[in-house]
Amino acid sequence: MQAEKAGIMELADVIAINKSDLPNSHQAAESVRSAIGLSQDSKPPVHLVSAHDGTGVDELLEEIESCSGSHLRGRLRARERMLSVWDSRLLDHPRLNEVLDAVETGSITLDEAVESLK
């Protein structure tokens, strides 16, 4: 569910719902299947597993080992990694607060702010 909220479900080749030994785990799996069904043409398999009793772990491992991944997912992963590096560099930039102040006061535009932080 955390991945669904973060908008990264489309990156998954396989989805594991842990704690399948607990109530509502099947409902959680159906919710995930429904969510990915709305947003994707190619749906990754959803496996219910339990780390507590080992249920579903063998099937999950088989699925992972046979997984080839798609070009689109590889592209999305590369994009997410690039955005993460970009975000880190931006947040670590020594002039970030100065530029944010300028944007906030309207003395520069967002495009000018981005250009000044290159």
Nearest CA-CA partner of 29 in 21, 20, 38? 20
pLDDT given at position 104:
96
**What 3-state class would DSSP assign to 15?**
strand
Summarised one tens digit per residue, pLDDT across range 55-84 is 999 999 998 888 765 666 677 778 888 999
Q: What's the CA gap between 46 and 4, in Å, rounded?
A: 13
pLDDT > 60? residue 111: yes
Q: CB of 19 within 8 A of CB of 52?
A: yes
Structure-block tokens of residue 52: 């507590």
Mean pLDDT of 3-19: 70
